[in-house]
Amino acid sequence: MCAASRLSENEPVQNSRAFATYPSSSAENYKDGLAITGKGPIVRSFPMVPGIDFAGTVSSSSDPAYSPGDRVVLNGWGVGEQHWGGLAQRAKVKGDWLIKLPTSVSARRAMIIGTAGYTAMLSVMALEKYGIRPGSGDVLVTGAGGGVGGIAIMLLHKLGFRVVASTGRPEEESYLKSLGAAEVVDRAQFSQPGKPLQKERWIAAIDSVGSHTLANVCAGTKSDGAVAACGMAQGLDFPASVAPFILRGVALFGINSVTRPKSERIEAWDRLASLLTQAELEATIMEIGLNDVQSTAGRLMNGQIRGRIVVDVNR
Q: Choose between 147 and 180: higher pLDDT.
A: 180
Query: What pLDDT score was predicted for residue 20?
Result: 56
pLDDT band for position 24 (50/70/90)? low
* Residue range 219-247: mean pLDDT, rounded: 97
Instruction: Kindly report which listed range (3-7, 38-42, 289-293) carries the lowest average pLDDT score.
Output: 3-7
Q: Choose between 307 and 146: higher pLDDT.
A: 146
pLDDT band for position 12 (50/70/90)? very low
Query: What pLDDT score was predicted for residue 189?
Result: 96
**Of 211, 28, 5, which Cα lies nearest the Cα of 116?**
28
Query: What pLDDT score was predicted for residue 11?
Result: 46
The pLDDT of residue 47 is above 50: yes
pLDDT in tens, 105-159: 998 899 999 999 999 999 999 999 999 999 999 999 999 998 899 999 999 999 9
Query: What pLDDT score was predicted for residue 62?
Result: 87
Q: Which amino acid, 131?
A: G
**Mean model confidence pLDDT for the chain:** 89
The pLDDT of residue 84 is above 50: yes
* Residue range 194-209: mean pLDDT, rounded: 97
The pLDDT of residue 79 is above 50: yes
CA angle 111, 115, 116 (to 5 degrees): 100
Instruction: Kindly report which listed range (18-22, 97-101, 127-131) carries the lowest average pLDDT score.
Output: 18-22
CA–CA distance, 74 with 114 (Å, rounded to integer): 9
Q: How far is CA 96 from CA 23, 63, 214, in A?
A: 17, 9, 33
Q: Are 19 and 93 in contact (CB under 8 A)?
A: yes
Domains of the chain: 18-101+284-312 (3.90.180.10), 117-254 (3.40.50.720)
pLDDT in tens, 53-62: 999 888 888 8
